[in-house]
Chain A
Amino acid sequence: MAANFFQVKPSAKKAGKEKERVVDPNLQPWVEKYRPKTIDDVSSQEHIVAVLEKTLSSTNLPHMLFYGPPGTGKTSTILALSRQLFGPDNFRTRVLELNASDERGISIVREKIKNFARQTPRAQAVASDGKSYPCPPYKIIILDEADSMTQDAQAALRRIMETYARITRFCLVCNYVTRIIEPLASRCSKFRFKPLDSSSTTTRLEHIATEEKVAVTPPVISTLISTSSGDLRRAITYLQSAARLSAASNPVAPITSRDIQEIAGVVPDSIVNKFAKTLGIDIPDAVDEYGDVEMADVGKTSNNTLRGFDLIREEVRGLMREGYSASQILTQLHDLVILHQTLTARQKSSCALVMAEADKALCDGADEELWILEVALRVNKAVNS
């Protein structure tokens, strides 16, 4: 750590900052560690990368609006781009990154953002690492998670964006483009980030696994992909957590698909299947995907005195006691019902209806047990009708 102080640094302040940034790479989250350094590294967003490459050579940049589901590389792209544009030295003076954890009310827009937009910092001609950077004559303001900004704050940005367009570029990053007010959206060129396809996720995960010397098998990778549904950050976090757990256990245990599911908070298939069976949904009795033997019979014998309503209620109570989250149960039950082979379309649609209602209720903060019970009863009714 001390060695940093003896390196030649432009200013003392910088040296302090530098020290803060040096973290033992082993303790860093992999998400940060393997954030793309250049925009070429960004996985699976070829179109966007191609467009931005152009701006690198022409050093002209429009205002930008990045939107797309979480974990698709929006923040990574803009950070990598600005790093490539300005290099490590100018990056600090030329880029302002604000996210939802910073206060971003209207006063901040008026003061902090406006002040930053107004200045014209002098570029440092020679980069300390000896490379040359384009360093165009404008600054970049990154507004991360812009959809959580208030309407007023967004409205206050409108004029600022135009007035200082000569020396400042804005990059808004958000999940839901509809939450950005129209006047702002129309000032930006929009880039839609699509969910990652499984092949590029696989490549990236395998790359990280080999870098970190973690042994992963193809089924583990496929579980990672299916549990994270296109969110690369989530997949990487799960992988790191699993690697941590397996490395920490003694003796070192290989990562299994079950570990990943537990980390992701997914309800084990055997439990969902058993629940579905109680509801009268026909589940083919088989050894499931991961080779676990079905556990359904164990519960059956103890419960067979109960029937109908009481049986279902008992089952729901059990699920709640296990601590599984209601929304997760709902999602998995939904997948099971909708993809089921023998249920009729009518049955499926009435199940879908009740699940939609339940999801809304859960979002409103309704009681989980009551609603899972409600879903269970109505699904049962639909299936038996």
Chain B
Amino acid sequence: MLWVDHYRPRSLDDLHYHEGLSDRLRSLAASGDFPHMLFYGPSGAGKKTRIACTLKQLFGPGVEKLKIDQRVFLTPSRRKLDVNIVQSNFHIELTPSEVGNYDRVVIQEILKEIAQTQQVDLNAKQRFKVVVINEADSLSRDAQAALRRTMEKYMSNMRIILCANSTSRLIAPIKSRCLLMRVAAPNPAEMKAVLSYVASRAGAGSIPDEAADEIISDANGNMRKAILVFEALKMQTPDLSGPLSIAKPDWETYCHKVADMIVKEQTPQQVMEVRSKFYELLSHCIPPTIILKTVADRVVERADESLKADIMHWAAIYENRMRLGNKKIYHLEAWVVKVMSLYKHFLFDIDMTGFED
């Protein structure tokens, strides 16, 4: 088993950082007056872990007996939808955004079903069941609207825990019905503590300071990534001494290569080269937003101070258009051309005032 999974905290007492949050969760679970909750924070900060721990605190070890089900839902137009559902006797976990625009159907069916059945197990600690909805921020508006009244109406039988990266895309009525729980990314000291804990549990002895710092700065607050990298490094060089090279994923190096190409030469031929590289990345299913962000970050590092703001400005604009548009490659390319022209103008000192748009 991977270290990330193996050493994942199982109960609220095992959690390493955000003590205040854990205390709150513990007392909420004990009070019997458990609200709907919304966990949000960057990825790898430990949202899911906290949800699992809270569930365990609520219902005892029974929640860890999971079964995975595939359920079939019918849309009003008789189309079949397959949804994977993880459930225990006390809770049910699903990712409705898997089915795209039909997520409303899934939400309605599942919630009504859960809401209308009472807990039959007399030994259960709580009278309600919990529905965990992952990736709540990619729920469609319809699905969110469907949640609204249900959350109030069936409060006696059911609690909802939403898990999202950001609250920006959740509609206000949902936010106002939940207790918001912000799970911030751990700071470097906290990450270091976790890494050394994992190291000692895994029988790897202690982790050298330089290695830990290296891993932490690479992970950028993502605990999951940090532990994965740590395990990989451990496999490469068992004693973790000497200069470490954290193997960057190959798409990242590839993106950096693209960025260097943009900075090096600004010609139509180069655009074609970059384009083929982008196609390569896209065909390996690297999300276009990530490509754009990684390349932009790298270009900005190389570029002159006066250009940086403009480069990021156009990255933001084209990233947004990419979401609205259909063909991702157009917008990636457009951005590259834009950046190259900015560069050229800067190098040859051409007045840009006429070309603001």
Cβ of B10 under 8 Å from chain A: no
Distance in angstroms between the alpha carbons of A105 and B172 in the assembled complex = 24
Contact of B183 among A148, A231, A323, A362 (CB under 8 A): A323
| Inter-subunit contact A309/B40 (CB<8 Å) | no
| Inter-subunit contact A370/B316 (CB<8 Å) | yes
Distance in angstroms between the alpha carbons of A262 and B24 in the assembled complex = 12
Stretch of A189-197, A215-223, A324-332, A336-344 lying at the B interface? A324-332
Cβ of A10 under 8 Å from chain B: no
Which DSSP category, helix, strand, loop or mixed, fits chain B's interface?
helix
Top 5 closest pairs, chain A to chain B, by CB: A248-B27, A323-B41, A234-B176, A374-B316, A366-B320
Cβ of B185 under 8 Å from chain A: yes
Cβ of A209 under 8 Å from chain B: no
CB distance from A206 to the nearest CB of B (A): 20
CB distance from B332 to the nearest CB of A (A): 14
| Inter-subunit contact B177/A70 (CB<8 Å) | no
| Inter-subunit contact B313/A374 (CB<8 Å) | yes
Cβ of A145 under 8 Å from chain B: yes
Stretch of A28-36, A42-50, A84-92, A164-172 lying at the B interface? A28-36
Q: What residues of chain B lie closer than 8 Å to A317, measured between beta carbons?
A: 220
Distance in angstroms between the alpha carbons of A119 and B146 in the assembled complex = 28
CB distance from B181 to the nearest CB of A (A): 9
Cβ of A308 under 8 Å from chain B: yes
Stretch of A52-60, A95-103, A289-297 lying at the B interface? A95-103
Which of A317, A325, A378 lies at the interface centre, i.e. has the most chain B CB atoms within 10 A of its CB? Answer: A325
CB distance from A256 to the nearest CB of B (A): 13
Distance in angstroms between the alpha carbons of A20 and B154 in the assembled complex = 10
20 contacts between A and B (CB under 8 A): A70-B172, A100-B148, A101-B146, A101-B150, A248-B27, A249-B23, A265-B167, A309-B309, A313-B300, A323-B40, A323-B45, A361-B320, A367-B316, A367-B319, A370-B316, A371-B320, A374-B312, A374-B313, A377-B312, A381-B309
Residue of chain B at shortest CB distance from A175: B173
Cβ of A373 under 8 Å from chain B: yes
Cβ of B193 under 8 Å from chain A: no
Distance in angstroms between the alpha carbons of A324 and B183 in the assembled complex = 9
| Inter-subunit contact A244/B35 (CB<8 Å) | yes
Contact of B308 among A31, A309, A378 (CB under 8 A): A309
| Inter-subunit contact A148/B145 (CB<8 Å) | yes
Interface 1/0 per residue, B321-356 and A, CB below 8 Å: 001100000000000000000000000000000000
Distance in angstroms between the alpha carbons of A235 and B312 in the assembled complex = 38
Distance in angstroms between the alpha carbons of A362 and B176 in the assembled complex = 20
Cβ of B108 under 8 Å from chain A: yes
Residues facing B in A117-137 (CB within 8 A) are none
Interface 1/0 per residue, B197-235 and A, CB below 8 Å: 000000000000000000000001100000000000000
Residues of A at the B interface (CB closer than 8 Å) are 20, 23, 26-29, 31-32, 70-71, 99-101, 103, 105, 107, 144-145, 148, 228, 231, 233-234, 237, 240-241, 244-245, 247-250, 262-265, 308-309, 313, 317, 320-328, 361-371, 373-374, 377-378, 380-381
Q: What residues of chain B lie closer than 8 Å to A23, measured between beta carbons?
A: 155-156
| Inter-subunit contact A101/B149 (CB<8 Å) | yes
| Inter-subunit contact A71/B175 (CB<8 Å) | no
| Inter-subunit contact B220/A248 (CB<8 Å) | no
Which of A233, A247, A248, A250 lies at the interface centre, i.e. has the most chain B CB atoms within 10 A of its CB? Answer: A248
Cβ of B357 under 8 Å from chain A: no
Contact of B184 among A233, A309, A323, A381 (CB under 8 A): A323
| Inter-subunit contact A29/B152 (CB<8 Å) | yes
Distance in angstroms between the alpha carbons of A377 and B323 in the assembled complex = 22
Residue of chain B at shortest CB distance from A150: B142
Distance in angstroms between the alpha carbons of A325 and B289 in the assembled complex = 18
Q: What residues of chain B lie closer than 8 Å to A308, measured between beta carbons?
A: 305, 308
Instruction: Count residues of chain B with CB under 8 A from any CB of chain A.
Output: 60
| Inter-subunit contact B31/A244 (CB<8 Å) | yes
Distance in angstroms between the alpha carbons of A31 and B176 in the assembled complex = 11
| Inter-subunit contact A32/B155 (CB<8 Å) | yes
CB distance from B190 to the nearest CB of A (A): 12
| Inter-subunit contact B166/A366 (CB<8 Å) | no
Other A-B contacts than A100-B146, A265-B182, 4 sampled, CB-CB below 8 A, are A101-B145, A248-B24, A265-B167, A367-B289
Contact of A247 among B31, B153, B175, B220 (CB under 8 A): B31
| Inter-subunit contact A263/B27 (CB<8 Å) | no
Distance in angstroms between the alpha carbons of A326 and B153 in the assembled complex = 30
Interface 1/0 per residue, B79-99 and A, CB below 8 Å: 000000000000000000000
| Inter-subunit contact B316/A26 (CB<8 Å) | no
Cβ of B245 under 8 Å from chain A: no
Q: A247-B31, A367-B319, A369-B293 are in contact. Are A378 and B313 (CB under 8 A)?
A: yes
| Inter-subunit contact B150/A27 (CB<8 Å) | no
Q: A366-B319, A374-B316 are in contact. Are A101 and B24 (CB under 8 A)?
A: no
| Inter-subunit contact B316/A263 (CB<8 Å) | no
Distance in angstroms between the alpha carbons of A381 and B153 in the assembled complex = 49
CB distance from A317 to the nearest CB of B (A): 8
Residue of chain A at shortest CB distance from B180: A265
Q: What residues of chain A lie closer than 8 Å to B5, measured between beta carbons?
A: none
CB distance from A144 to the nearest CB of B (A): 7
Which of A27, A99, A366 lies at the interface centre, i.e. has the most chain B CB atoms within 10 A of its CB? Answer: A366
Distance in angstroms between the alpha carbons of A373 and B296 in the assembled complex = 12
Cβ of B28 under 8 Å from chain A: yes
CB distance from B138 to the nearest CB of A (A): 8
Interface 1/0 per residue, B135-149 and A, CB below 8 Å: 000000110011111
Cβ of B179 under 8 Å from chain A: yes
Cβ of B69 under 8 Å from chain A: no
Q: What residues of chain B lie closer than 8 Å to A313, measured between beta carbons?
A: 300
Q: A28-B155, A323-B182 are in contact. Are A368 and B166 (CB under 8 A)?
A: yes
Interface 1/0 per residue, B43-60 and A, CB below 8 Å: 001000000000000000
Distance in angstroms between the alpha carbons of A89 and B45 in the assembled complex = 52
Cβ of B9 under 8 Å from chain A: no
Q: What residues of chain B lie closer than 8 Å to A378, measured between beta carbons?
A: 309, 313
Distance in angstroms between the alpha carbons of A263 and B181 in the assembled complex = 7
Q: What residues of chain B lie closer than 8 Å to A103, measured between beta carbons?
A: 76, 108
Contact of A233 among B24, B176, B324 (CB under 8 A): B176
Q: A309-B308, A365-B169, A377-B313 are in contact. Are A101 and B28 (CB under 8 A)?
A: no
Q: A101-B147, A103-B76 are in contact. Are A248 and B177 (CB under 8 A)?
A: no
| Inter-subunit contact A325/B313 (CB<8 Å) | no
Q: What residues of chain B lie closer than 8 Å to A241, measured between beta carbons?
A: 35, 179
| Inter-subunit contact A364/B176 (CB<8 Å) | no
| Inter-subunit contact B148/A99 (CB<8 Å) | yes
Distance in angstroms between the alpha carbons of A370 and B289 in the assembled complex = 10
Distance in angstroms between the alpha carbons of A309 and B172 in the assembled complex = 33
| Inter-subunit contact B27/A366 (CB<8 Å) | no
